[in-house]
Amino acid sequence: MNDDAQASPRPRPEGVDDDATVLAVGRLTHALETVNRARGYLYGFHELTGRADNELDDVVQRFRDAGHDEFADKIERELLGRNVIDNRWTFQIVDDYETGYYALFTELEQKARDEFCGGVRHLREAEMKRDRRTPGLPGHELKPDRDHPK
């Protein structure tokens, strides 16, 4: 395995020589990674809200069984199946997020990588790995040893 201190696990493509641009693309990718975490929370919100709404069937029945039909009716009429925000259930919020904000964010991040970094993913991180590792030390290898997976 080449352990050259100047080598990088993902060398810059030819013509990519501007550190500021590589850093900007790296920050955009990092922002997209943050958005992906937020997206996971949004899906969690969607799933948990739906689960809670489904549990209301049992709640309504339990209030009826306990002799509280009027309160059961109120839950069934006013809360069960209610929009969570402005005429939307959570699946509609997720759909709007996916086709609007998220789609544009991922499109622009891909465009930046393609246009400014030759399509290479995590180029900035690869250079950080090159700069922060100690060549020759175990655990500081430049690339995975494909012949001997661990």
- Give the whole-angstrom CA distance, residue 133 versus residue 96: 43
Query: What is the pLDDT, as a whole number, of residue 89?
Result: 97
Name the token pair of 51: 């689960």
In the block, tokens 């948990």 appear at 48
Helix axes 19-65, 90-97, angle to 10 degrees: 170
Query: What is the pLDDT, as a whole number, of residue 93?
Result: 97
Its pTM stands at 0.80
Residues 6+ apart with CB under 8 A from 44: none
Query: What ranges do the domains of the chain cover?
Result: 19-53+84-118
- Give the whole-angstrom CA distance, residue 147 versus residue 112: 34
Q: With the C-alpha atoms ordered 98, 103, 109, 110, is the resulting torsion angle positive or negative? A: positive
- Give the whole-angstrom CA distance, residue 104 versus residue 96: 12
- Give the whole-angstrom CA distance, residue 84 versus residue 63: 23
- Residue ranges of the chain with per-residue pLDDT less than 70: 1-7, 146-150
Give the model confidence (pLDDT) of 94-120 as tens digits: 999 999 999 999 999 999 999 999 999
Query: What is the pLDDT, as a whole number, of residue 4?
Result: 57
